[in-house]
Amino acid sequence: MATAGFIPRSCFPAPTVPRAYFLGHHAKAIRKMRELTAEIDLIYEVRDARAPLSTRNTIFDSIIGAKPRVVVYTKKDLSAVHPDIFRAWHAREGYCVVNTHDHTSVRKLVSMSKELCFNRESFSGLRVMIMGMPNVGKSSLLNTLRHAGVGRRKAAKTGALAGVTRNISSYVKIHEDPDIFVYDTPGVSLPKTINAETMLTLSTIGSINVGLIDPTIQADYLLYQLNLVNPDGSLYNKYSPPTNDVEDFLTSYCIRMPGRLSKGGYPDLLGAATHWVDRWRKGLEGKIAFDDFRNPNAYKEWEAAQDEQRRKERGQQSDQKFRVA
């Protein structure tokens, strides 16, 4: 129930923000993935369970082709998306929702991989490639699979922000009898996102360089999303009563959070915005969900929107060629 008199915003006015975060090592990684796909048996396509639509990269579809794929949603422990939604979205597709801090949560993924391995005639084991956008938990997934499967320490560096993995790894064994080997790959962004809200989502969860978007805009967008998840303001009521005003919220945050007041006792709103969003990004504040996380048809609607965008872009390219000619 929402607090009496408080009505959350029903939409977020899209600010002017960059629509892309596609870097040189992203393009290099795509070329390498295409080269390696021929020797790969299975793809783990990793997405962030907090933003299950925004962290889907359609570039991978052309790389994967007809290869078997398991969609892996990480950060289950930080996501407010109900399991029924994932089931509705993937009624005909293999998927798994995991918490990479919990060995038991990756057992289903290993079992799915073993089933595929048992159905193959191979003496070299099953070879898997992990794909995903930046900071969706690919390296953490690999480390958990490796530790749970063969009891060895982590094989890949991890971090709270995008860009930790820059190169494709060598094969890493995650299971014996049957042998399962995994390639880790760098996170790859889309050349262009479908809208400004997607960029805000990716920035808030740390899947792009967080410095691309003003911290106060990120905080305002997070406040908007939290009010959609829980309209009673319970996800931040230890700092502020329910509000749609980010400056009011950040002022209260500065007062109630130690060290957030500048000299003279004035609230440091910019510092507070950065600090608060970062705490959510690291999972220190609770569960959150972005995208249309209550809509059973959101997955199909998202795909239709992507197809429409691609048609428009092809049409614009054709018009430009015609004008040049």
- Is the pLDDT reported for residue 287 higher than 80? yes
How many Å apart are CA 55 and CA 79, to the nearest integer?
A: 13
Distance CA 165, CA 157 (A): 7
246 in a labelled binding site: no
Q: Are 179 and 125 in contact (CB under 8 A)?
A: yes
* pLDDT beyond 60 at 2: no
135 is in an annotated binding site: yes
pTM of the entire structure? 0.87
Burial, 40: exposed, middle or buried (Cβ in 10 Å; 0-12, 13-18, 19+)? Answer: buried
Residue-range domain boundaries for the chain? 24-183
Report how far residue 84's alpha carbon sits from residue 148's, in angstroms, rounded to the nearest whole number.
Answer: 27
The band of 318, judged by pLDDT with boundaries at 50, 70 and 90, is: low
Contact assessment for residue 245 and residue 8, using Cβ atoms and an 8 Å cutoff: no
- 307 band by pLDDT with thresholds 50, 70 and 90: confident
pLDDT at residue 324 is higher than 60: no
The reply to whether 300 sits in an annotated binding site is no
Average pLDDT, the chain: 86
Please tell me the predicted confidence (pLDDT) of residue 317. 59
Contact 233, 219 (CB under 8 A): no
Confidence grade of residue 168 (pLDDT, cut at 50, 70, 90): low
pLDDT at 236: 96
According to CATH, what is the number of the domain 24-183?
3.40.50.300
Q: Is 140 annotated as a binding residue?
A: yes
Q: What is the pLDDT of residue 226?
A: 95
Residues in a beta bridge with 311:
none
Per-residue pLDDT tens over the stretch 220-237: 999 999 999 999 999 999
Measured between alpha carbons, how far is 261 from 271 in angstroms, rounded to an integer? 9
Q: Which two tokens stand for residue 215?
A: 């911290």
Rg (CA), the chain: 21
Q: Are 240 and 248 in contact (CB under 8 A)?
A: yes
Q: How high is the pLDDT of residue 169?
A: 57
pLDDT at 162 (0 to 100): 46
d(CA 121, CA 241) in angstroms, rounded, equals 61
Q: Which residue has the higher pLDDT, 26 or 168?
A: 26
Only one residue has tokens 């691309």, namely 212
CB atoms within 10 A of CB 52: 26
**Comparison of pLDDT for 153 and 181, the residue scoring more:** 181
What per-residue confidence (pLDDT) applies to 147?
86
| Phi then psi dihedrals of residue 79, to 5 deg | -100, 135
Q: Is 234 annotated as a binding residue?
A: no
Task: Tell me phi and psi for residue 148, to 5 degrees.
Answer: -70, -35
* 98 annotated as ligand-binding: no
Q: Do the annotations mark residue 137 as ligand-binding?
A: yes
Mean pLDDT (whole number) for 302-308: 86
Instruction: Band the pLDDT of 78: cuts 50, 70, 90.
Output: very high
What mean pLDDT do residues 187-210 have? 89
